[in-house]
Amino acid sequence: MNFSIAAKGHSFKGAFAYYLHDKGAQTAERVAWAETRNLAHDDPAYAQSVMIATARQAEALKKAAGVKGTGRKAGGPVHAYSISWHPENETVPDRAGMLAIAHETLKLLKADHLQTVIVAHQDTAHPHVHVIVNRVDPGNGKMHPFGNDAHKLDEWAAKYERMRHQIVSPNRDEKHEDRKRRQEMGPSAKGAFAKHSPAPAVKPKSRAAELAEHQAAQNPRHKQEWVDLSAANKARREAIKAERVDFKGIAAQHRTETRPLWSQLGKEQAAVRRAFLDREKRISGIVRNAIDIVRNQQIRGVADDRGFLAMCFNYALSSQARRAAFDARQKDAKAELARTLDAALIAKFDAVKAGRGAKLAEARKVYDAARTALIERQNGETAKVRTAWRQLYADRKEAGLEGPRPPWRRRSAANAGPTPPAKRDFDRAGQLADDKRFPEDETRAVQWARLEELGRKSREQGRGMGMHRARELRRE
């Protein structure tokens, strides 16, 4: 007994077209019989449609059975293998025996629950059956692995022959024992064997291969360098922007620093107020207060320089006017100090903002410098690779080993030939001069003159120089 395992496929339609028909034909003379397993009917057409539907609904079956749809895909759903018998060296079983053996192999491969079609062929001297299995489990949609099935079938075939005392493949036991010895050696022995094995000779790389490898590694590295540069610049700018400026703290510190100024102003104004009220008790003091008020107003630009005596006389007569003017003077002094201190606070805020802007500007300078350096370095590396390729092509040409042209040069050479006509009529129009309806004794110049005359007549009638119209006019 021998077996053969076909490659896993994706098309049940193709598999059934091959196994249920003669080779390259639609007849089925080589098919002796066909039966199914885990299907309702033995009709091959029915089996094909059901197996295709089961394979297509694999994901839905997984979902219904609660099986996750993740994981690596296991290839095509079609699995096929054949079992053959030698008619001269062993007893060929009948149909029931072949079916029993096929079922045993399915149990051996743990595939006896899958949809299966068994087809017997009679076109060769060796009777054989083909077992076509749908790898998709109709119960849960999972793909059966069929792992190590060649060794399993080989060992089972050896036992089958020994039980019947009909050894058809004498080397099978030796191969089985050799495989068993290798398994008993273990990983350490295998590693030692591999360690002492001669290493395969490594073919040195050509200049072109080394250049191509270097260029293939250089391009993604250049791209990654730009990504890293952009990321570093972004991180630097975000770090500067993340530096929180405590404007409230600056304002509080400013108030603490300027509190002595307010205290000093308050003391000075209190002293001036006491002196003012003390002078208000005497006539001479009233006159002095009036004079001080008018001078102060003129200095601050509140009053004109003219009418000094009149203003002094008016203030001397009204105590309320003197008191209001005195209070206004002290209020203006407070406002002036407040404006001065506010301007100093705003200057502190501007200094902080300017420092932040300076940091951002410095970060920009660093980025521009790094960008310029990166451009120069990458351009230099790219230029070196191009120079190496040019030198390689020059060396090959000098040695007479110039290879095929690059694709762009091949396209240029192909485009250098004559351009095909854009329309079929244009191509056919060039054949009019060789038409047999022209007289044999006319020269080509006369023939083209006649064509031009025909074209002129056609244009006068408001029609184009179509082929059918040209022929009609020529017949006239």
For residue 36, the model assigns a pLDDT of 94
CB neighbours (10 Å) of residue 276?
19
Within a domain: 127: yes
Q: Which of 187, 214, 231 is the last residue of a domain?
A: 187
Q: Is residue 388 part of a domain?
A: yes
Residues 209 and 60 occupy one common structural domain:
no
Q: How far apart are CA 80 and CA 6, in angstroms?
A: 6
424 band by pLDDT with thresholds 50, 70 and 90:
very low
Which pLDDT belongs to residue 228?
93
Q: The domain containing residue 445 runs over which residues? A: 424-475
pLDDT of residue 380: 93
Counting the structural domains of the chain, the total is: 3
Q: Which of 387, 413, 439 is the last residue of a domain?
A: 413
Q: Model confidence over 180-207: pLDDT tens digits?
A: 777 666 655 555 545 555 555 667 888 8
Asked if 313 and 367 sit in the same domain, the reply is yes
Q: Average pLDDT of 47-55? A: 92
**Residue pLDDT, tens place only, 254-285:** 899 999 999 998 899 899 889 888 888 888 88
In a domain, residue 392? The reply is yes
Tell me, yes or no, whether 404 and 430 share the same domain: no
Residue 197: inside a domain: no
pLDDT value of residue 425 = 44
Statement: residue 465 has pLDDT above 60: no
Residues 179, 217: one domain? no
Q: State both tokens at 405.
A: 């042209």
Mean pLDDT value across residues 355-383: 91
263, 403: one domain: yes
Strand segments (E) across 413-473: none
User: Does residue 198 lie in a domain region?
Assistant: no
Does the residue 196 lie in any domain? no
Domain boundary among 187, 219, 236: 187
* CB-facing half-sphere around the CA of 399: CA atoms within 13 A: 9
Are residue 341 and residue 394 in the same domain, yes or no?
yes
Amino acid at 162: R
Q: Do 171 and 242 fall within a single domain?
A: no
The pTM of the full predicted model, rounded to 2 decimals, is 0.41
| Pair (255, 150) in one structural domain | no
What confidence tier does 427 reach under pLDDT thresholds 50, 70, 90? very low
Scan for tokens 């610049």, then name that residue: 233
In tens, the pLDDT along 400-422 reads: 766 555 554 555 555 555 544 44
- What's the mean per-residue pLDDT of the chain? 80
Which whole number is the average pLDDT over 315-335? 87
Is residue 419 in some structural domain? no
Which pLDDT value is given to residue 458?
64
Mark whether 375 and 290 lie in a shared domain: yes
Eight-class DSSP state of 141: -
Task: Give me the mean pLDDT over the 414-442 stretch.
Answer: 49
Is 181 within a domain?
yes
**Contacts for 335-339: CB closer than 8 Å, 24+ residues apart:** 337/261, 337/262, 337/265
% pLDDT > 70, the chain: 76
434 and 402 in a common domain? no
CATH number, residue 88: 3.30.930
Please, are residues 240 and 360 in contact by the beta-carbon 8 Å criterion? yes
3-state secondary structure 107-139: HHCCCCCCCEEEEEECCCCCCEEEEEEECECCC
The pLDDT assigned to 442 comes to 56
Task: Please report the pLDDT score of residue 187 as a whole number.
Answer: 57
Same domain, 180 and 272: no
Q: 242 with 101, same domain?
A: no
Helices of type H across 37-129: 44-56, 58-65, 95-108
Residue 222 has pLDDT above 90, yes or no: yes
Q: What is the pLDDT of residues 4-24, one digit of tens each?
A: 888 788 889 989 998 999 888
